[in-house]
Amino acid sequence: MPTSHIIIGGGISGAALLHYLALAGKDVLLLEKGKRLGGVIGTHRNDAGALIETGPNSTQTSNPDLLDLIESLGLRGQMLEANPIARNRYILRDGKLYPVPASPPAFLRSSLFSLPAKLRLLREPFIGRAAVQEESVAEFVRRRIGSEFLEYAINPFVSGVYAGRPERLSLRHAFPKLHKLEAEHGSLIRGAIRGGRARWQAARRGEVPRDRAKLVSFQQGMETLPAAIEQRWRGRIRLGVAVQRLQRDADGWVAVSNAGDFRVARVILATDATTAATLLQPHHPGAAQSLREIEYPPVAVAVSLYRRSDIQHPLDGFGMLIPEVEKRKILGVIFSSTLFPHRAPEGMVALTTFIGGARQPELPLLGQDRLAELVYAEHAALLGALAPPCSFNLTAWERAIPQYNVGYGGVLDSIADAEIALPGLHLLGNYRGGVSVADCIQSARNLAAAIA
């Protein structure tokens, strides 16, 4: 009997879908062109003893599906919650690092924002809703809370999540919660106060708030998650199988690969958008074109291992983000060994630096030596690095994270059209439903429920 469901692509989206469909008793096979599951999620330890994350370093438990998946794979004992000090985050202004204020009194005292910017915030509850259908993140922020917050809060935050630019990203699609806050409450501040009040009342009733997201990883890093799915469903996974073409026949679909043809009733494309576009081209050129047009800027991820005594900054937080107006050569740095234990050997610290994105797409492809110099120079200037790192590991993603830019609704509509026009075909991946690991898992679970 041929398999009835095939998933093409074993990043976290495809891997999670495999888990849910297999649990639901579906006859399913996953084809992955690489040697392991995980896609951009990858962890290893280098010779100097640093834990290297090539993609995500952590993820937020922003929806219950991530924790449920961790539970269901028996990984709760290996899960790590970020050091509470990680609530402290730094932003660079005029060459100096300032902590992001975490409470209203801290905000009033903070020198990160000027007095006029703080006073401008008082107008926010009285500003009306958007006059246009779709705004960029930058337009929204400028309109509601002013340019200084755009430059010193939102611009660095957006590059931390999407490696993107607020001028291009769509508020509605890239930050749907903010969009909803304005739509429902007419004001971000009013919405935040009401949300805070509801949480306080729930806490008084002894309820644990579901929406208090935690930042998590695993003792052995993020790859633990896809590796556990690979181990659990080994018999339903074919590694080293690259699907080159999709054909339709009277019974359903044929996935043509380097390892032969796979005939199925249902096929789920869980690859990046460009590969999905290539496979979809003969069947739905319109959706293929939309997928191909998604912007994916390059990002380089550098892990530098230093002697603790060679870094003057206390590294007492999650890390630092760099606003574009500061004109530096990096997007930000995660203080990885502060965030989770065992990221660096005793007496050492590991820093993970992000370079490029939509802001400086030319930088990630400069090559190992030039990027090593560039990153060290930035660490010296911003964190007081006194000597070069003991080890330096670089991963350059030519196409890192899909950008949900203004007009993204058209992309999503055309994907949905393709699914209607092509029964038995589904598209899944981080270009739809959110880019975080937790978002990908939620999208996979929703799709599994729809299929089952």
Ligand X SMILES: Cc1cc2nc3c(=O)[nH]c(=O)nc-3n(C[C@H](O)[C@H](O)[C@H](O)COP(=O)(O)OP(=O)(O)OC[C@H]3O[C@@H](n4cnc5c(N)ncnc54)[C@H](O)[C@@H]3O)c2cc1C
Residues 147 to 166: which contact ligand X by CB under 6 A? none
- Rounded CA gap, 332 and 95, in Å? 13
CB atoms closer than 10 angstroms to residue 121: 17
Which residue among 17, 21, 56, 135 contacts ligand X (CB under 6 A)?
A: 56
Q: Buried (b) or exposed (e) across 35-53, using 16+ Cβ within 10 A?
A: eebbbbbbbeeeeebbbbb
Nearer Cβ to ligand X (389/429): 429
Residue 57 binds ligand X, judged by CB under 6 A:
yes
Residues 421-450 that bind ligand X (CB under 6 A): 429-430, 435-438, 440
Footprint on residues 185-244 left by ligand X (CB under 6 A) = 242-243
CA distances (Å), 39 to each of 14, 33, 328, in order?
9, 10, 30
| 61 is a contact residue toward ligand X (CB under 6 A) | no
Supply 35's token pair. Answer: 């040697």
Binding region for ligand X (CB under 6 A) out of 3-11, 76-84, 151-159, 194-202: 3-11
- Coil, strand or helix: which one is 30? strand
Of the residues 401, 406, 418, 425, which one makes contact with ligand X according to CB under 6 A: 401
CB atoms within 10 A of CB 131: 7
* Between 85 and 202, CB nearer to ligand X: 85
Of residues 138, 141, 228, the one with CA closest to residue 188 = 141
Q: How far apart are CA 356 and CA 245, in angstroms?
A: 33
Between 145 and 169, name the residue whose CB sits nearer to ligand X.
Answer: 169
Q: What is the nearest approach in angstroms of ligand X to the Cβ of residue 346? A: 26
Partners of residue 257 on adjacent β-strands: 243, 260
Residue 292 CA to residue 277 CA, distance in Å, equals 6
Which position among 34, 176, 186, 433 is part of the footprint of ligand X (CB under 6 A)?
34
Give the Cα separation of 139 and 132 in Å (integer): 11
**Binding mask of the shown chain, residues 235 to 274, with x at each position contacting ligand X by CB under 6 A:** -------xx--------------------------xxx--
Q: Classify residue 151 by its DSSP letter.
A: I
Q: Which is nearer to ligand X, 145 or 339 (CB)?
A: 339
Is residue 280 part of the contact set for ligand X (CB under 6 A)? no
Q: How far is the CB of 144 from ligand X (least distance, A)?
A: 26
Nearer to ligand X (CB atom), residue 10 or residue 317: 10
Provide, for the chain, the percentages of residues in helix, strand and coil under a 3-state DSSP scheme, each rounded to the nearest 5. 40, 20, 35
Between CA 70 and CA 83 the distance in angstroms is 19
Q: Which of 28, 29, 31, 154 binds ligand X (CB under 6 A)?
A: 31
* CB of 113 or CB of 233, closer to ligand X: 233
* CB neighbour list of residue 208: distance below 8 Å, 6 or more residues apart: none
Q: Contact between 39 and ligand X (CB under 6 A)?
A: yes
Measured over the CA atoms of residue 363, residue 364, residue 370 and residue 374, the dihedral's sign is: positive
Give, as ranges, the residues between 317 and 376 that touch ligand X (CB under 6 A). Answer: none
Residue 400 found at the interface with ligand X (CB under 6 A): yes
CB nearer ligand X, residue 11 or residue 191:
11
Backbone angles phi, psi at 144, to 5 degrees: -85, -45
Q: Which stretch binds ligand X (CB under 6 A): 36-44, 100-108, 145-153, 284-292?
A: 36-44
Which of the 8 DSSP states describes residue 365? T
**Considering the rule CB under 6 A, would residue 17 count as an interface residue with ligand X?**
no
Q: Which is nearer to ligand X, 58 or 224 (CB)?
A: 58
Residue from the set 6, 11, 65, 229 that interacts with ligand X by CB under 6 A: 11
Q: According to the binding rule CB under 6 A, does residue 411 interact with ligand X?
A: no
| Stretch binding ligand X (CB under 6 A), from 28-36, 123-131, 319-327, 379-387 | 28-36
Q: How many residues does this entry show for the chain? A: 452
- Residue pair 270/13 in contact (Cβ under 8 Å)? The answer is yes
Q: Are 231 and 23 in contact (CB under 8 A)?
A: no
- Rounded Cα distance between 339 and 217, Å, is 10
Q: Which is nearer to ligand X, 33 or 328 (CB)?
A: 33
Q: How far is the CB of 253 from ligand X (least distance, A)?
A: 14
275 binds ligand X (CB under 6 A): yes
Residue 193 per-residue DSSP state: H
Considering the complex, state which of residue 97 and residue 242 has its C-beta at the smaller distance from ligand X.
Answer: 242
Q: Applying CB under 6 A, which residues contact ligand X?
A: 8-14, 31-34, 39-41, 55-59, 242-243, 270-272, 275, 299, 301, 397, 400-401, 429-430, 435-438, 440
